[in-house]
Amino acid sequence: MCNTNEETAKKRVLSCIQPSGLLTLGNYLGALKNWTEMQYEFDCTYAVADLHAITVRQEPAKLRSQIYSTFAILLALGIDPDKNTVFIQSQVPEHTALSWLLSCYTQFGEMSRMTQFKDKSKKHPDNINVGLFSYPVLMAADILLYKSDLVPVGEDQKQHLEIARDIAVRFNNIYGDVFTVPEAYIPKAGARIRSLQDPSKKMSKSDDNVNAWIAILDGRDDIIRKFKRAVTDSGSEVRMAEDKPGVSNLITIYSAVTGKSTADVEREFEGKGYGDFKLAVGEAVADALAPIKQKHDEIIKDKKAMEQLYKAGAEKAEYVARKTYFKAMKKVGFVL
């Protein structure tokens, strides 16, 4: 994927993100901000994981728009498509092809124990489809196609990485050294951002209350308005404490976007009320996200240029994916 000897010596990292809704401040501070930094240390592959999005029903036009927008956001963040492989998952057919092959080396019991399947089945009881059940195998294919050494994971993805590792080891034990067995990569701790309306929950784009979360592409006025409405706690002191989950969440956000320590933030707002603090957090977040939104809007307007980039990314990805897929098929005994 990279050409120089120095770059090929770098460890390979795969990171994917679904285009199943608007990306939030939580996505940015918790993960995406780290992606721009990882590209200087690792040989990175970044994918818009659109195939994973259809385990729940999607409106076609809206899904297509979200795929474009998510790809544009990755570029707007500063991820360099020349330095990295940046592509849309569905444009590389080896993902689904390898997924079928790996399905035959994955046990039903392993899939039935996946906690996300259980959770999503409860949320969508009218659409408990086979894709929802088996999508960890597709995720394993995503990882194994690119011989990923490291995969950044959060708490909710550790189980999926373990399945990918188990499948790779099982296949290798039968057929020899085919797949790289990936390790979990715990990046520099990203901020754990909570809902602005219920700090007991993480910030999520699926929250029905639009005031609970900030979209990366929200306008300045909307961002400040949402922070003004953010839930705080009893009293008026701005400090990090277990009995102040609302204020603690706002301190975490302010620290993450300004680079100030918790102690610095507490000193800055000593003697000031929650109103001043919430306004300052909103303005700081708006300032941090404005350049990303501006760049995204510029990229998304030039559909032809963006098409060239995602097609080039898919070609770059498929060059690597095809070699891995053909090697696995040949080992199993297929005629190629």
Return the active site residues.
120, 202, 205
> d(Cα 174, Cα 167) in Å, to the nearest integer?
11
Q: Residue 16 gets which letter from DSSP?
A: E
| Contact between 14 and 148 (Cβ < 8 Å) | yes
Q: How many CB atoms lie within 10 A of CB 49?
A: 22
**Which residue in this structure is represented by tokens 């608007």?**
22
How far from 88 is each of 32, 47, 283, CA to CA, in Å? Answer: 16, 6, 33
| Contact between 34 and 154 (Cβ < 8 Å) | no
> d(Cα 266, Cα 123) in Å, to the nearest integer?
39
Can you give the three-state secondary structure of the chain, one letter per residue? Answer: CCCCHHHHCCCEEEEEECCCCCCEHHHHHHHHHHHHHHCCCCEEEEEECHHHHHHCCCCHHHHHHHHHHHHHHHHHCCCCCCCCEEEEHHHCCHHHHHHHHHHCCCCHHHHHCCHHHHHHHHHCCCCCCHHHHHHHHHHHHHHHHCCCCEEECCHHHHHHHHHHHHHHHHHHHHHCCCCCCCEEECCCCCCCCECCCCCCCECCCCCCCHHHCCECCCCHHHHHHHHHCCCCCCCCCCCCCCCCHHHHHHHHHHHHHHCCCHHHHHHHCCCCCHHHHHHHHHHHHHHHHHHHHHHHHHHHHCHHHHHHHHHHHHHHHHHHHHHHHHHHHHHHCCCC
